[in-house]
Chain A
Amino acid sequence: MRVPLERKVLNENDRIAATLRERFKSHGVFCLNLISSPGSGKTSLLERTLEGFGPERRVAVLTGDIQTDNDARRLAHFGFPVRQITTGGACHLDARMVERALEGWPVEDLEILFLENVGNLVCPTSYDLGEEARAVLLSVTEGEDKPLKYPATFHHADLMVLNKIDLLPYVPFNAEVAKENARRVQPGIEILDVSCTTGEGLDRWRAWLDGHL
């Protein structure tokens, strides 16, 4: 006997994500899901972002890693609430992990919640976390064809942050080709050039964030 289901495989994840999205939206919290390969600079970007915020800003970070709370410790220096999600093997965050990590947190008082995903350009793509926007980081020490190799990830991103641009003179990376590749996969993608080392472009990144509040 054939039973039609016509149901999303990640139905349960999507259900929780929808609840989270509603919660963020009703309290005016801008939730951003940050995705990239390991080492592209997600934590560095967050460090520079938090560093530039005055204490009056209502910002918090959930940071995901397979093991260690090193990232949470790096980010806790800036005085904003930070929680580590240690996935214990899973290569991505899912909505249930985010829901659990937010238990007992004054999420309603926030203006921005950053979700730093596990460093991985594949698996996080499939998991909706209830975010309002998704940013993918690409650094110039990687290949400029990454958007073509991982089209699903770039296709689902609202913003591409091209990081480590201070290294452009030293690496054979063609930034224009990388951007063209990203736009082929996602014609509507916004792109920002930044260097977390020199601070170049971080003003535009902050303006992008503030534009979503």
Chain B
Amino acid sequence: MSIAAAVLETLRAEAANHGGARVARAGLRIGELSGVAPESLRFCLETLVAGSDLDPLAFDFEICPWTRRCHACAAVFRVVEWNTACSACGSLDTEAAGGDQMELMYLELEEP
């Protein structure tokens, strides 16, 4: 819920920066390893938006997979079933490459 509140706080600040324009839509990028369940976040956002100054407001979600980069062959691969070994060459020497994103990508303002 506090993450949803942080999203809305940013949207309000951005709207104010654009002369108080109304925000119609916001795009969020959420990684599989971010600790946030997109559906829960959507629920919290919708709950906070309902009846507020931001209502109505639509959200787009982009879900980012959990990925690692292989030090041996440089492949970036998706981690499936918690398997952090490289899917291309099998090396165990890999590092985190993605999946912990929790970002606001964009917002759409209504033309006045």
Whether A5 contacts B14 in the complex (CB less than 8 A), given A126-B35, A187-B94, comes out as yes
Contact pattern, B 28-40, Cβ under 8 Å of A = 1, otherwise 0: 1000011110000
Interface segment, one of A47-55, A136-144, A151-159, A168-176: A151-159
B6 touches A6 (CB 8 A): no
Note all chain B residues with C-beta closer than 8 A to A151.
Answer: 33, 66, 82
Contact pattern, B 79-105, Cβ under 8 Å of A = 1, otherwise 0: 000111000000010101000101111
Number of interface residues of B (CB under 8 A): 31
| Closest chain A residue to B82, Cβ basis | A184
Note all chain A residues with C-beta closer than 8 A to B102.
Answer: 8-10, 126
A3 touches B84 (CB 8 A): no
Task: Tell which of A125, A152, A153 has the most Cβ of chain B within 10 Å.
Answer: A152
B107 touches A3 (CB 8 A): yes
A108 in the interface, Cβ–Cβ < 8 Å?
Answer: no
Contact pattern, B 3-16, Cβ under 8 Å of A = 1, otherwise 0: 10011011000100
A152 touches B108 (CB 8 A): no
Whether A123 contacts B82 in the complex (CB less than 8 A), given A3-B107, A13-B6, A90-B2, comes out as no
B6 touches A12 (CB 8 A): yes
Cβ < 8 Å to B, chain A residues 1-43: 1-13
What's the dominant secondary structure at chain B's contact region?
A: mixed
B43 in the interface, Cβ–Cβ < 8 Å?
Answer: no
The CA-CA distance from A123 to B100 in the complex, in Å, is 13
Note all chain B residues with C-beta closer than 8 A to A3.
Answer: 14, 18, 106-109
| Closest chain A residue to B111, Cβ basis | A1
Q: Given A9, A126, A185, which contacts B7 in the complex, CB threshold below 8 Å?
A: A9
7 contacts between A and B (CB under 8 A): A1-B21, A1-B111, A3-B106, A6-B103, A6-B104, A94-B2, A153-B35
Contacts A5-B106, A7-B103, A9-B103 supplied; 9 other A-B pairs, CB < 8 Å:
A3-B106, A5-B14, A9-B10, A9-B104, A123-B35, A126-B3, A148-B82, A155-B33, A184-B82
What are the 7 closest A-B residue pairs judged by CB atoms, nearest first? A125-B35, A152-B35, A184-B82, A5-B104, A9-B102, A152-B33, A126-B35
